[in-house]
Structure 1
Amino acid sequence: MLNSIEDQKNVNKILIRVAKHLNIDFIITNDAHYISPEGAKAQEISLMLGSKDDGKQVTMKDKTKFGIMRKIIDSICNNEISIKEIENILENNDEVQRYNLNTEKSKLITAIEIKDVMLGNRKLPKIWGFSTTDFWFKNYTEMIEIWKSQHEYLSKEDFEKGLENTIKVSNLVEKFDLDLSAKLPVVDTGNKNQYEYLVELAKIGWKKKIKGIIKDEKIYKKRLMTELKVINILDISGYLIIVADYINWAKNNNILVGCGRGSSAGSLVCYLLNITEIDPIQHKLLFERFISVARSMALYNFKLENINEEKLSLNFNKSEILKWKNKKKILMVI
C-alpha cells in the first residue's frame, strides 16, 4: 500500500522482505478513501464530527491548537525543550504565548492549558484524522509519482511486478451486479397478498376516521383509490404495513410518537393506518409530495423513545422479529 505515512513505509519494507523470503507474489495497492485530492477536506470534516472536547464539538481551529499543544508536551517529555523554557511556559500562567514548532503555523496557546494537561487536570481530546491527505484514487501516472517521491526503497522491478500482480487479481474478479434494493422482513398477511392486506387495514381506518364522520366522503374515497393505485404500482404495500405495525405498537406501549413528519403527512393511507394523525385533505396536503409513480420514495426516518431491549410485535415470521436495544430516550419521528 503506497502512501506517505512513515509507519506504512516501514511495514511495506517488511512485507516485501517476507514475500521474497517465502517466494510469495505481492501486490501494490492504492489506499483510496475518496475519488480526487479535493475529497481530503471533506473526509477531515467528516472524521472531526466524531471528535469531542468535554462534550463539545471540536472545530478546525481547535484541531490545529490541540495538535500544537501535543507537540509542545511531547517535546517537553522528550527533553527537546530546555528546563528554562519549560519554566517560562509554566510561570506565565494565563499570559498568552506564541509557539512555532516544526514549521507549524503559530497559534495562541495559554501556558496554563499546557500545565493543566501535564498535571493531569485535563486530557487532550482524541482528534480523528490522518497525517496525510494523499488518499485519493490515483491513476497510473500518480502511482509512479508517489513511488518515486515516497518509496525509493522499492526497486523499479518490484514496483512494476507489484502493479502487474494487482491487475492479475483484478482480472480474477467475476462480473457481478449489486442488488441495492431495500431488504425488508417478510410480512405474514395470511391468505391475502400484501396489497390486499393493506386495503383491509385502510378499510378498518376508514370506518374509524371517515365513515359517518366526514360529510363529503366522495372526495376522500377518490383520494384513497388514487393513493392505493400508486402504492400498488410501486409495490410498497409491505413496507407501509411494517411501518403501521411498529408505529401502532409504539403508541400502544406508551412510546412517544410524532403526529406526522414531512411528506408522509400528505398521505390519506398513512392517516387511515394510524401512521400519522393528520387529515391530509382537511389540511390541503399533497399525496404527490409523499410518493408518485414518477419518482422513487425514500424510506421513513424514524426513532423510538425508551425501547429498553423490547421486541416490536410485528407481523413477521418468528425468525425476523426485530429486536430493539436502544436504551436512550429519544422521540420517534415519522
Structure 2
Amino acid sequence: MFIHLNVKSCFSLMNGFNKIDNVLEKTARMKSNAVAITDINTMHTFYDFEQAALKKTKKTKSLKRDSIHPIFGITFIVKARYVENEFFNITLLAKNEIGYQHLIALSTIANTNHEQFAYLTFEDLKHHGEGLFCLSGGEEGEVFDLVVNDRIDEAVMLLKDLKAFFGENLYLEVSNHFMKEEEKFIESGIIEKALSIGIDYVATNNAYYLRKEDAQYRSLAVSMNSELNSLKANEVDWIHNYASRHVDFNSEWYLKTEVEMTKAFSKYLLKYPNLLENTLKIANACQATVPKLQTFPEFPLPQGYTEESYFRELMLKGFEERFPDDSAFDPRFTRQDYIDRMEYEFETVKEMGFLGYLLIVQDYINFAKDEKVFKHPERYFPRNCYPEYSRIPEGILKKNYKIAVGPGRGSGAGSLLCYLLKITNLEPLSLDLLFERFLNIERVSMPKLVGHSV
C-alpha cells in the first residue's frame, strides 16, 4: 500500500500545478484512502482541501473503501545547517491538533522574516517540533545534498539534529525520480546509518503536477516566475537554482499510482521492505483537522459595554455624523429607508457573529486616519483593558499624524455599516451598491432591499 505524502497544489504559485479536486479524483481512482498536500511555505489550501475531501466522501457509497483522508502538511524552505549559503526543503505533516498549530506558527515565521523570500531556520524548527512528522526533504533536502556530495558523516549529524526536534516522528525521505543522484543516495548506506540511530525511512514522489505530460507546464511556469526575475542575482543567486532544481531533468514529478511507485522502487524493496508501507503508517497517524472555531480576537470594550451595545452606539453616532439632516440622503430614498438598511445590516452581521470583526476593523482604520490620537488615546486603549499605558509604545499613544487610507474598495464598499463606522467613505445607497456582495452570498432568500434589486 502506498500513500502520497508530498503533493504540491497550484497554491505553490508558479511551481505546482495540481488542483485539489483533480488530486482527490485521481487518488480515488487509484483506490488510495489518503493523500497529503504539502505546498511550499503555505497552508492556504487546507480548508478547501478538507472540505473537498469531505464532499467526495459523502458522495461515495462505501466509506471504508472510497473515502479519502486529507493530510495537512507544508514543505518549508529551510536555511542549510551544513551547506554554506544554501537552502533546502523539509516537509512537515500535522500528526494532531498540536502539530497543526505548529504548522500555523512556522508558516507565519517563514512568511514574516522580512526577507525577499520565505524561509525557516533550524532554530525555528527547534521550538515547533511537537505533533509533527518530519520528512527529511527527499531529493530537495539537505541530507540528500550532503550524501550525494560524499559528506555522509555530516548528513548523519544533520539527521541527529533533526531527531532532537522531532524524535521518532522523523523519517528519512527516499525518492526515486530516476536521477543518478537518487540512486547514489539510496545505495550510499545512509538508510542503514539512519536506522542505526533510530530513524526510519519512507518513500515519496514529489508530485508537482498530475500527469507525466504536464511537466512542460511546470517548466514554463518556473521560467516565467516574475518574483524570481525581480530578485537581485548578486544577493540571492541561489534562489534561481533552488526554484529550478530538477525541473527539466525529466517528467517524473507527477502523481503516480501504487503500481508505478512499486516499479520505481522495485530494485530496493527486498532490502528495504517498508519503503512504501511506511507511508500508510504515517498516514494513519495523521489525524489533524482544520479548526472550525471562530478565531477572531476579542475587541477590548470600554467599561460597561457589551459587544452589541458598543457597536450600536458607534453605529448610531456614525449615522448622525454622516447624515446630519435630510439633505445628506440620496433624494431617491427617505431617512426611514436608510434606517431600515442600517438595521437590516446590523441584524445580519450580528447573526453571523461578525460584530467583533467590524469593531476591530473600524478601530485600526480610524486609528490610522486620526492625527490627534495623543489627545484621546483612551478611544483606542480603554483604561479598563489597558491599565498600564507605560507598556504601550509612546509613538502609538502620542500619534499626531495620519496614515493614508483609501475610500474603500471591493465588497466592503457595499455595506452601510462600514460607511457609518468610517471604515469606508463610499455611501452605498447613492452608488447602488449591494450589501449581499459583502456577505459573499450568491443567492439571497430575503425581502427585497429598499431601493435595490437583489
| Shared fold, TM over 0.5 | yes
Match of 1:178 in 2: 290
Cα deviations by residue, 1:149-171 (Å, 9 ceiling, x for unpaired): xxx4x2x3135332223323333
For 1:52, which of 229, 234, 247 is the aligned residue? 229
For 1:187, which of 290, 295, 299 is the aligned residue? 299
Match of 1:3 in 2: 176
Match of 2:434 in 1: 286
Please say if residues 222 and 244 of structure 2, whose CA atoms lie closer than 8 Å, have aligned partners that are also in contact: no
Please tell me the residue identity of whatever aligns with 1:261: R
* TM-score, reference length from structure 1: 0.57
Match of 1:209 in 2: 322
Q: Does residue 227 of the first structure (1) align with residue 345 of the second (2)?
A: yes
Match of 1:313 in 2: none
Please say if residues 247 and 275 of structure 1, whose CA atoms lie closer than 8 Å, have aligned partners that are also in contact: yes
Query: What secondary structure, in the 3-state scheme, does the structure 2 residue paired with 1:28 have?
Result: strand
More off after superposition, 230-239 vs 21-30: 21-30
Change (3 A) 1:29 1:287: same
Please say if residues 3 and 31 of structure 1, whose CA atoms lie closer than 8 Å, have aligned partners that are also in contact: no
What is the alpha-carbon distance in structure 1 between the residues aligned to residue 442 and residue 413 of structure 2? 19
Match of 1:277 in 2: 425
More off after superposition, 11-20 vs 265-274: 11-20
Please say if residues 408 and 423 of structure 2, whose CA atoms lie closer than 8 Å, have aligned partners that are also in contact: yes
Match of 2:240 in 1: 126
What is the alpha-carbon distance in structure 2 between the residues aligned to residue 18 and residue 131 of structure 1? 26
Please say if residues 30 and 138 of structure 1, whose CA atoms lie closer than 8 Å, have aligned partners that are also in contact: yes
Give the strand-richer structure, 1 or 2.
Answer: 2
Change (3 A) 1:125 1:172: closer
Please say if residues 194 and 237 of structure 1, whose CA atoms lie closer than 8 Å, have aligned partners that are also in contact: yes
Cα deviations by residue, 1:45-94 (Å, 9 ceiling, x for unpaired): 268232116779xxxxxxxxxxxxxxxxxxxxxxxxxxxxxxxxxxxxxx
Identity level (%):
28
Please say if residues 266 and 280 of structure 1, whose CA atoms lie closer than 8 Å, have aligned partners that are also in contact: yes
Q: How far did 1:201 drift?
A: 1.2
Match of 2:71 in 1: none
Please say if residues 2 and 30 of structure 1, whose CA atoms lie closer than 8 Å, have aligned partners that are also in contact: yes
Q: How far did 1:259 drift?
A: 0.7
For 2:193, which of 18, 40, 59 is the aligned residue? 18
Please tell me the residue identity of whatever aligns with 1:18: K
More off after superposition, 35-44 vs 195-204: 35-44
What is the alpha-carbon distance in structure 1 between the residues aligned to residue 309 and residue 185 of structure 2? 61
* TM-score, reference length from structure 2: 0.43
What is the alpha-carbon distance in structure 2 between the residues aligned to residue 33 and residue 20 of structure 1? 29
Please say if residues 205 and 272 of structure 1, whose CA atoms lie closer than 8 Å, have aligned partners that are also in contact: yes
Query: What secondary structure, in the 3-state scheme, does the structure 2 residue paired with 1:270 have?
Result: helix
Match of 1:331 in 2: none
Structure 2: runs of 5+ lacking an equivalent = 1-173, 371-400, 445-454
Q: Does residue 136 of the first structure (1) align with residue 264 of the second (2)?
A: no
Q: How far did 1:260 drift?
A: 1.3
Query: What secondary structure, in the 3-state scheme, does the structure 2 residue paired with 1:27 have?
Result: strand
Q: CA RMSD in A?
A: 3.4
Match of 2:273 in 1: 160
Cα deviations by residue, 1:199-223 (Å, 9 ceiling, x for unpaired): 2211110110124253521111000
Match of 2:113 in 1: none
What is the alpha-carbon distance in structure 2 between the residues aligned to residue 125 and residue 292 of structure 1? 38
The structure having more radius of gyration, on CA atoms, is: 1
